[in-house]
Amino acid sequence: MTDTTLRHDWTHEEVQALFDQPFNDLLFQAQSIHRQHFDPNSVQISSLLSIKTGACPEDCAYCPQSAKYDTELEPERLLPVEEVKQAALNAKRNGATRFCMGAAWRNPTDRNLERVIEMISVVKDLGMETCVTLGMLTREQTHRLKEAGLDYYNHNLDTSPEYYGEIITTRSYQDRLDTLRHVQEARINVCCGGIVGMGEGEEDRVELLRQLANLPKHPESVPINLLVQVENTPLYGTDALDPLDFVRTVAVARILMPKSAVRLSAGRSDMSDELQALCFHAGANSIFYGEKLLTTPNPKENQDLELFKRLGIRPQSVRHSETGQNAA
């Protein structure tokens, strides 16, 4: 069995060998490692709100919020702070411990950042962990977010460096890595993962996870998204990913990043209960909760609670590390 000490020097061949294991062996290894670091029957719940929707100048081929695609999505301005507060309160009542706010920007202006900082303060006053995804950040902006008490910043790599150009042309892979470096240097927890089922090959899923595991510090949260196909986006009509390949991706993520929260993110509305149960067995221990993820569907809260009951899973309460920074 692979050594579970934290590594940042994985080779492509080593990660490929994990994917190539018999399915039962892979899940046994992932579950064994998971139990070394987490309660196997506890799942952290996050809720996600789009605080500024649509009209994004990027050309991400999966995204209905891009201004380049006619998806009939109505652009919306930045939400009022009071509306964000009410959404966070509702999420907390429904069991969420972390409230994530997403804005469809290439990068925030300093003026917009000030408004987001106000939202962060309001949500933290409710006793919830905070996370934002705002696009690319400068070093100065990350320090301002740190001073505001932000717990997590989400910035996904999306896919492998080799396949990236097939998905996005308006932002480079290095741009993403630079923002992650700024966030980690500011000592803000990182939420970083990718999207599978975009027509990539297994070698791209291998390389995506290798890139994440070989960051200077493992992301505290690793969202694994399954492509949600939206009509009139370039990836609409892409062949569906084999569900067992999705489970393999979750399991390898758990093995490579033993202490990170591995989150089932977009695409859960298309997953059967049985597939989600396999993912939890493979080491997933976090979900997004609520009927919508930014602009795409998500299972209703009562569906998730019913599945948790059937599986004997408990929602995780907020935890804090010794340094005062919220844990994953």
Known catalytic residues? 56, 60, 63, 100, 131, 191, 263
Instruction: Dig out the tokens for 273 from the structure.
Output: 């209960």
- Determine contact, residues 133/294, Cβ cutoff 8 Å: no
Q: Which residues contact 133 (CB under 8 A, 6 or more apart)?
A: 100, 101, 102, 103, 153, 154, 155, 191
Helix (H) or strand (E) holding 19: helix 12-19
CA distance 185 to 151: 14
Would you tell me the crossing angle of helices 173-185 and 139-147 to the nearest 10 degrees? 40
Amino acid at 270: D
Give 324: exposed, middle or buried? Use CB within 10 Å, 0-12, 13-18, 19+: exposed
